[in-house]
Amino acid sequence: MGARVARIRRYGNRCLRRRARSVDAADRRTRELLDTLWATLLADGGVGLAAPQINRDCRVVVVMDPERPLGEQRLDLVNPVILETFGPSVAFEEGCLSFPGLYRTVWRPQGAVVEFDGPQGKQTLRDDGLKARIVLHEIDHLDGILFIDRLPFWTRLLLSPRLIPFLMSEYWRKISGKGRSG
């Protein structure tokens, strides 16, 4: 509680395209980063947030588990690895806090088995619903992959004019020296 809310970086910022580094789940800084991600996620009303989206080069993700009761919905994933995906490809409309207001249908495997570092060592998560969808989206962020990369070629091409404002705002932030994120 009381964790600070971080600024979410938008499309066009290079921090979204890096491959993040593994971290120590027991490290106090990792716990603090998880708290910051969760506070930021709640403040922005999202369902998942990955550390690169707040310019932290760490394989750390928080997900809101929609199947759990309020107050118990936080799921921390440190160094998550996809062990397996299963089921048919499913279409679902996705958004991303790094692309405010942009929603597109993305095809992903229905289910996934993910291993991650929990407080007591390795844990696995198996899901074939909305949680799997969110987790796969967030793990992509750790490898610098964005949901627009998962769209069919023609959809991406038609989308590109809508991405220009994101790139422009990033450019203006850079030349005005504001919001430099390193």
- Of the pair 52, 119, the CB lying nearest Zn ion is at 52
Going 161 to 170 to 181 to 119, the CA torsion angle's sign is negative
CA distance 11 to 128: 28
- Of the pair 37, 96, the CB lying nearest Zn ion is at 96
- Of the pair 90, 102, the CB lying nearest Zn ion is at 102
- Of the pair 63, 96, the CB lying nearest Zn ion is at 96
| Three-class secondary structure of residue 41 per DSSP | helix
Cβ 16 to Zn ion, closest distance in Å? 9
- Give all strands of the β-sheet with 121-127 in edge-to-edge order: 48-50, 60-64, 74-94, 104-118, 121-127
CB atoms within 10 A of CB 90: 15
The answer to whether 108 and 99 are in contact (CB under 8 A) is no
Cβ 141 to Zn ion, closest distance in Å? 6
Helix (H) or strand (E) run with residue 88 in it: strand 74-94
Residue 170 annotated to the active site: no
Structure tokens at 45: 């009303």
Residues found near Zn ion in the complex (CB under 5 A): 96
Question: Out of 32, 72, 93, 138, which one is annotated catalytic?
Answer: 138
Cβ 82 to Zn ion, closest distance in Å? 16
Cβ 46 to Zn ion, closest distance in Å? 8
Residues classed as catalytic: 138
